Structure 1
Amino acid sequence: MDVLSQVLASMRSGRPRFLRTECPLPWGRFYSPASGAGFHLILRGSGYLIPPSGDPIALGAGDVVLLPHGRGHGMAGNPDTPLDGVEFPSDDEFPLHQRIGPGGTAGSPSSTVMLSGVYPIDGTRCHPVVNDLPEIIHLPAHLGQHPALRAAVDQISGELQHPGIGSTGVLSALLDALLLYILRAWYQEHGTGAGWGPALDDPAISAALCSIHNNPERQWTVEDLGAEAGLSRAAFARRFTALVGQPPLSYLTWSRMGAAAQILRDSDEPLGIVAQKVGYTSEFAFSNAFKRMHGAAPGAYRRGLRSRQPH
């Protein structure tokens, strides 16, 4: 599995929550901060995204907006329209039709139709591939740009217009694909210089990252990772550090601790087994490394997670 797919799978804490709305003028909505990445897809009409600071962003049909850090924001037909608060449905509710606004007629050509939602993300496992993204990613519907993204948008729009058996599952899968296409498009457009765009796009560094994520239990050395990348030890270490922002073994430890946190959350496996799965032969050494990273020993971390779960 490639690095981006692995990273997103490790951070996700649930399937996308979404809400389709038809908005006759005048309309304005305020979306509270979310525990995850917010998104909007303009299916018909136009509108404005009202950021917490800065100028409103004009949106047209086919435009995609991602708010990677879940910041609160507004969406409106006009920038000066008052904003009403919005509550997203619960995890097991996915209403495909909702009409808002005091005026207009449902189905009117003047109405804006959009799909809005949240990709739930566990903030304790947020990877730099997301942390390093800007507050707002706006991908306008330019003809000929990012054809895979545009095809996903068209498929989502078609499923919403003509829902059938299994539509909720289909939409969830399409929205998962949409997130990957958004991030791919962003990194393709911003893949120069330092940072995760160039790191993911660099075949040598990407190969090493995949090896780390696929095999955290292996006793990796810088030389071993350089061999995976097809580079000498010194050349690999320089390139990895320049692109990823930390030395290879520092990232290895960080990645292992993230994998350990996921295992502790999702399973009841003994701590010794968890330690082995992330490359530690000593449970004591694993516990010390985990506590440095997460501020709590593995057992206490797991108990804390359990205590916060609903009964």
Structure 2
Amino acid sequence: MDVLSDVIAVMRTGQPRSARVAWHAPWAQRFASVPGSAGFQVILQGQCWLIPPDTDPMPLAPGDVVFLPHGRGHTLADSPSTAPVAAACDPDDPRLLQRHRFDAVGVPGGDAPATVTLCGAYQLDPARAHPLLRGLPELIHLPAHLGRYPALRATVELLAAELERPRLGTDAIVPALLDTLLLYMLRIWFDEQPAGTATGWAAALNDPATCTALQAMHRDPAHPWTVATLAAEAGLSRAPFARRFTALVGQPPLSYLTWWRMTTAARLLRESDAPLSAIAGQVGYVSEFAFASAFKRQHGTAPGRYRRAG
């Protein structure tokens, strides 16, 4: 798998949740902060305001997508002056897995045109938080522009159709579309970081040498990588590669490799019944003892105990 897909696969836990919501003015709904999750809002019809807790209100129009990678609390409203209430549509509500649709009415029988949104949330495991996501801003706004983000727009349209008119197969289609939406939101944000000004993981993924080395480690974490072999993959000599990788990723190549191996092992322990020896082999350890020692240094507990605690 590529780096971005790998990161999402390791961090994701449980099912993503979503709902289609029709709001009728006057309305204002407060969405609480949800640690260990990422949320989104998509405006399908009408206009509204996004009101973050500590910045100015932001007008949203049809087609706008807002991604909150760290589960930040926020308010959606027909007007910044409307007093908010607790969220009637909570993306963290497990009932949305079955319902997929929610109609919120601020004024019964009101004549004001409806604002229709898609809200949703992804559950993320804080214990497997990747620095790629930790480095994202609190809020990412992808405004609608004619001809831009065609793949994202197509995914939103498919998701909206499934949520509006559930049919046979909807319960399988919706989670797949939500995963696709998440990857498109992240891909667009990374692609749009200005060349030469991006920092951290945005710069790392846009640097051919560093990205090549990362892809190699993610493609085959069990390989006996050294700084020299990774540098060869990247097409650089050893010392310049190590400096470049460390500056962009925030840790030396082999430190990142060990961290990724142990993060991958944690997912395998929780999501499979494979014996410890098999998991050790999948992440590059011939000795189960060596694997257990490395895992305990990373996670503070032995692999077997970590599995039982899950």
Fold shared per TM-score above 0.5: yes
Question: Structure 1 residue 134 and structure 2 residue 137: aligned?
Answer: yes
* Residue identity opposite 1:248 in structure 2: P
Question: Aligned equivalents of 1:33 and 1:5: distance in 2?
Answer: 25
Structure 1's unaligned 5+ residue stretches are 306-311
With structure 2 as the length reference, what TM-score do the two structures score?
0.90
Q: Are the structure 2 counterparts of residues 191 and 91 from structure 1 closer, same or farther at C-alpha, using a change threshold of 3 Å?
A: farther
* Structure 1 position 162, deviation (Å): 4.5
What fraction of aligned residue pairs are identical, expressed as a percent? 52
* Residue identity opposite 2:176 in structure 1: A
Question: Structure 1 residue 29 and structure 2 residue 29: aligned?
Answer: yes
What secondary structure does 2:44 align onto? Answer: strand
* Structure 1 position 41, deviation (Å): 0.8
Question: Aligned equivalents of 1:290 and 1:160: distance in 2?
Answer: 42
Q: 1:259 aligns with which of 256, 264, 268?
A: 264
What secondary structure does 2:49 align onto? Answer: strand
* Structure 1 position 191, deviation (Å): 4.9
Match of 1:2 in 2: 2
Q: Deviations over 1:74-130 (max 9, x none)?
A: 211112322222334316733233221331548x67111011010111111111111
Match of 2:40 in 1: 39
* Structure 1 position 24, deviation (Å): 0.2
Q: Retained in 2: the 8 A contact 1:194–1:242?
A: no
Deviates more, 1:2-11 or 1:209-218: 209-218
Q: Deviations over 1:5-39 (max 9, x none)?
A: 11111111123101111000011212222231011
Q: Retained in 2: the 8 A contact 1:191–1:198?
A: no
Q: How does 1:279-298 map to 2 (within 5 A)?
A: 279-298=284-303
Question: Aligned equivalents of 1:246 and 1:191: distance in 2?
Answer: 23
Q: 1:94 aligns with which of 98, 107, 119?
A: 98
With structure 1 as the length reference, what TM-score do the two structures score?
0.90
Question: Structure 1 residue 204 and structure 2 residue 209: aligned?
Answer: yes
Match of 1:53 in 2: 54
Q: Are the structure 2 counterparts of residues 167 and 66 from structure 1 closer, same or farther at C-alpha, using a change threshold of 3 Å?
A: same
Question: Aligned equivalents of 1:304 and 1:170: distance in 2?
Answer: 31
* Structure 1 position 199, deviation (Å): 1.6
What secondary structure does 1:93 align onto? Answer: helix
* Residue identity opposite 1:23 in structure 2: W
RMSD of aligned C-alpha atoms?
Answer: 2.0
Match of 1:232 in 2: 237
Q: Deviations over 1:201-234 (max 9, x none)?
A: 2333222212211211111101111122222222
Q: Deviations over 1:168-214 (max 9, x none)?
A: 32232222111111111111121543311122223332222122112
Q: Give the number of equivalent residue pairs.
A: 304
Q: Retained in 1: the 8 A contact 2:19–2:96?
A: no
Q: Are the structure 2 counterparts of residues 160 and 93 from structure 1 closer, same or farther at C-alpha, using a change threshold of 3 Å?
A: closer
